[in-house]
Amino acid sequence: MNHRPAPVVATEQGAVRGLRQDDGTAAFLDIPYAAPPRGADRFAPPRPHEPWHGVRDATAPGPNAPQSERRLGGIDMAPYFGTGWSPGEDYLTVSVRTPAVARGDLPVMVFVHGGGFVAGSTRSALYDGSAFARDGVVLVTLNYRLGIAGFLDLPGAPANRGLLDVVCALRWVRENIAGFGGDPDNVTLFGQSAGATIVGGVLAAPEAAGLFRRAIVQSGSGLGAFTAEQAARVTAAAAEALGVRPHADAFADISDARLVAAAAELTGIDLRTAAHHDPLIGLSPFSLVLDTQPAEAVAAGHGADVDLLIGTNTEEGRLYLVPVGKYATSTAEDLDDTAARSHPNPARLVETYRRTRPEASYGELRAAIMSDALFGAGTRALAAAHSAHPGSGTFAYEFAWRSQALDGELGATHAVELPFVFDLTHLPQLHGPAALLGPDRPPADLAARMHATWIRFATTGDPGWDPYDTEHRATMRIGAEWARIDDPRGRERQAWS
């Protein structure tokens, strides 16, 4: 039995007591980085948390952002989404995993979870940062406001409140992370899916300048933000569902439970306008709301001094079709509808994908178009924008290992890279015919190598392969074998230009 005393760290708000793990690492859970978002404050910028007296217990998970329990057909995504809402007001918190509390020079990685801007938390099994702490990194995970509280564009409230929470958490890291052994001048912000799109938004946000040195964007989009016109449609629908005026004052007295229920009613809104398609092609009514897409802001110079590692998975779109029985049953009409939601010239888009994949089924073509509409096109745009600045470190990857879940159809789908990044492929709940990694064991060294690569980038700014530029578009294809690929699927890329 381990009889060493529990670690205590002083923060700007007060001291916290964590857990000493058997492997010598320490965990500090549920540390507030901002005040509880109560009532009207749910629609205000994050505020500093009140100091506390004595030592705050940081040994157990706390509440998370209000959200619905998420399911995705025949695949078990509980390790990704978590088990739903754990109520409590004081949920703007971070959890810190650290190898030691005496040093102050370790690389710091701050993770922003995905979940379609409506789900997820630090409690999800996939975001256990023990392996990072084991390998010399201070790993920070965070909760942020979701759904209506976090991303509904409301008159009388600042936009993108969930993103403002992430910036606030980064400020907390700068002020406090040295006490946990981390170097505040060597912070890598990384995220996946909605979290990756938020990372792209933070990269382009002037108020976040200087708060982090590197960024990793896993299956996000630099073109994923809604316009004000698109966001206004969601706001009008939310106000109608709740029976109130579309203004922050009218939303202030509505309970969290009602806001969560109303958010669930907003799916299916057609956000296509005369000038813009829906960057989320109907899958979520929430995203960042910006006048300028992150890729465009980065092209103008924002975030040029931040090293960037960015990539997607080979078959992202299958997650939205295979588990719900829409992959094998897709028709020509379904394919055309997906293309119409994704591109101003859907006929040309479909023809391009038919030429590059002549043996593909309708489902395969549909999934491929969804992959690029949701993630690929916006990832390439952000990579190109960042790499255009002299001296910027831009590196691209494509994760290609295929899960054999759901009779082998799930493939290298959305989110399948996460267990490898966090070195958690051993978790039992990830294995089985309806689990994310499927019934087969992945290559023994793939998780160790990918995890080490992310740490190498966070430590040095170099993942170990050639930088990305718009001439060669060097991309590391990650699977059982690792190989540099120049301009993967170049013809399909050109269709989105």
387 a catalytic residue: no
Per-residue model confidence (pLDDT) at position 67: 97
Which of these is catalytic: 113, 277, 302, 414?
414
Q: Which residue has the tokens 């799109």?
A: 197
Per-residue model confidence (pLDDT) at position 5: 80
Segments making up each domain of the chain, as ranges: 8-223+298-495
Per-residue pLDDT band at 383 (split at 50, 70, 90): very high
Averaged pLDDT of the chain: 96
Q: Please classify residue 116 by burial: count the beta carbons closer than 10 Å to its beta carbon, then call 0-12 exposed, 13-18 middle and 19+ buried.
A: buried
Across 295-327, b (16+ Cβ under 10 Å) vs e yields bbbbbeebbbebbbbbbbbbbbbbbbbbbeeeb
By C-alpha distance, which of 461, 13, 43 is closest to 249?
43
Per-residue pLDDT band at 3 (split at 50, 70, 90): low
- Answer for the pair 40, 252: CB distance below 8 angstroms, yes or no: yes
Give the phi and the psi of residue 124 in degrees, each rounded to 5: -65, 140
Does the pTM surpass 0.95? The reply is yes
Measured over the CA atoms of residue 75, residue 399, residue 192 and residue 20, the dihedral's sign is positive
Give mean pLDDT, residues 455-462. 98
342 a catalytic residue: no
Distances in Å between the Cα of 15 and the Cα atoms of 10, 25, 354 are: 4, 18, 60
Convert the pLDDT of each residue in 332-364 to its tens digit.
999 999 999 999 999 999 999 999 999 999 999
Q: Which residue has the tokens 């993942």?
A: 463
Please state whether 441 falls in left (phi above 0), alpha (psi between -120 and 50) or beta: beta
What is the enclosing helix (H) or strand (E) of 167?
A: helix 161-176
Looking at the predicted structure, is the pLDDT value of residue 173 above 80? Answer: yes
276 a catalytic residue: no
Looking at the predicted structure, is the pLDDT value of residue 1 above 60? Answer: no
Which of these is catalytic: 113, 219, 296, 316?
316
Q: Please classify residue 150 by burial: count the beta carbons closer than 10 Å to its beta carbon, then call 0-12 exposed, 13-18 middle and 19+ buried.
A: buried
Which of these is catalytic: 193, 221, 284, 371?
193
Give mean pLDDT, residues 136-165. 98
Classified by CATH at the fold level, domain 8-223+298-495 comes out as Rossmann fold (3.40.50)
- Answer for the pair 445, 432: CB distance below 8 angstroms, yes or no: no
